[in-house]
């Protein structure tokens, strides 16, 4: 039963008495206060309330020229008059909601582009400032928790670099961090490198060498990897920092592949015939591919002069007068099938 009070929507609601009074007004064609009050047994206060309710719901309206005279209005006209402002407001709100949604959705491409850029920046970061790179390397080394993997191409490292590397490696090993490093075979003949390897391996580091390796690679805790920058032009190359998990995992797999194919760096046996044969085998393999002396030297991490000395020794041992003949004679001696362990003598 309606009460005549305002509902939660803000519209007045009809009560039974007001509805009955409206019915009598329709019969009479006008809202006759005294007559309706008498028929419904209403007090002056009650009939005034009924009039207020019916006017509030637009079922009564003043007659033109006589504001005190009220006539009944059909329910559909009353409803239209009563709810029209609300409906207009609803339409305005709906349009505003549509406009806001359209404007926000128009930012969707910008959002995804920003996410793409952010993901790229988080996954890769190319740093050209050498001092900043060194600061980051120092920070990551000091905070490395479980494992440090490195690939150091180019043969023997400079003595000044080994001095700082020794201190850093020993400190890192003392914290229980595992260190594995891959050098090239040519590093075995360098006295400072041998001294460095002896010290760090005594403290638990593992060092191996290979004839060829990829570019310099440093991986911290299998989470962050450093790669050399490409296309640096005339300036000193910077570094690319990789944090994207899938790519870091791939680089770890590359390291493990190189590690499995490398030979342990045992300082006491570094001058063994096997090591010498491995190096000569690597030179022959590159020679048979048609590489010039400079490229062979670069890929094996040695000077061009040293490389040419080895090539001269190889051609003499194989009784060859040219690269082609050296490769042919090596094949005849089953060097190409026997691998680096085959004897050169």
pLDDT of residue 274: 40
pLDDT of residue 168: 92
Tokens 């003043």 identify what position?
Answer: 62
List for the chain the helix, strand, coil content (%; round to 5): 60, 15, 25
Report the alpha-carbon distance of residue 100 to residue 109 in Å, rounded.
16
DSSP 158: P
- Answer whether 120's CB lies under 8 Å from 243's CB: no
Parts of the chain with a pLDDT under 50: 1-4, 6-9, 270-275, 335-336, 340-345
pLDDT of residue 294: 77
pTM value is 0.54
Stated as kind and residue range, the H or E segment containing 218 is: strand 217-220
- Answer whether 209's CB lies under 8 Å from 265's CB: yes
pLDDT of residue 145: 94
pLDDT of residue 272: 43
Query: Beta strands 147-151 and 178-184: pairing type?
Result: parallel
pLDDT in tens, 22-74: 888 888 888 888 888 888 888 989 988 988 888 888 888 888 777 778 888 88
| Residue 193 CB-density burial (10 A; 0-12 exposed, 13-18 middle, 19+ buried) | buried
Report the alpha-carbon distance of residue 155 to residue 65 in Å, rounded.
111
**Helices marked H in 175-322:** 191-202, 245-261, 273-288, 293-300, 304-317
Helices (H) and strands (E) in the chain, counts: 14, 10
Sign of the Cα pseudo-torsion (151, 154, 159, 161, in order): negative
Residue 255 φ then ψ, to 5° = -60, -45
pLDDT of residue 323: 64
């Amino acid at each position: 039963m309606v009460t005549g009070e305002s509902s939660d929507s803000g519209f007045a609601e009809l009560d039974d008495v007001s509805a009955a009074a409206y019915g009598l007004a329709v019969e009479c064609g006008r809202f006759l206060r005294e007559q309706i009050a008498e028929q419904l047994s209403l007090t002056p206060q009650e009939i005034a309330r009924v009039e207020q309710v019916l006017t509030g719901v637009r079922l009564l309206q003043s007659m033109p020229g006589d504001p005190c005279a009220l006539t009944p209005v059909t329910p559909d006209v009353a409803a239209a008059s009563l709810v029209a402002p609300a409906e207009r407001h609803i339409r305005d709100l709906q349009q505003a909601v549509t406009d806001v949604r359209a404007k926000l959705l128009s930012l969707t491409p910008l959002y995804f582009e920003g996410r793409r850029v952010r993901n790229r920046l988080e996954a890769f970061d190319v740093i050209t400032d050498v001092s900043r790179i060194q600061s980051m390397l120092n920070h990551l080394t000091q905070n490395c928790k479980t494992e440090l993997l490195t690939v150091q191409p180019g043969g023997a490292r400079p003595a000044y670099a080994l001095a700082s590397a020794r201190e850093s490696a020993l400190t890192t090993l003392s914290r229980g961090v595992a260190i594995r490093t891959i050098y090239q075979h040519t590093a075995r003949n360098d006295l400072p490198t041998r001294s460095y390897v002896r010290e760090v391996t005594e403290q638990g580091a593992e060092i191996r060498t290979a004839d060829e390796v990829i570019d310099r690679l440093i991986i911290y805790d299998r989470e962050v990897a450093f790669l050399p920058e490409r296309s640096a032009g005339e300036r000193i190359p910077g570094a690319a920092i990789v944090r994207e998990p899938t790519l870091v995992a791939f680089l770890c797999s590359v390291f493990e592949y190189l590690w499995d194919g490398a030979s342990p760096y045992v300082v006491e046996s570094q001058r063994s015939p096997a090591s010498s044969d491995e190096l000569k085998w690597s030179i022959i393999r590159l020679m048979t591919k048609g590489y010039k002396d400079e490229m062979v030297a670069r890929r094996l991490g040695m000077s061009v002069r040293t490389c040419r000395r080895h090539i001269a020794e190889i051609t003499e041992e194989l009784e060859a007068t040219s690269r082609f003949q050296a490769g042919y004679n090596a094949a005849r001696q089953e060097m190409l099938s026997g691998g680096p362990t085959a004897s050169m003598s």
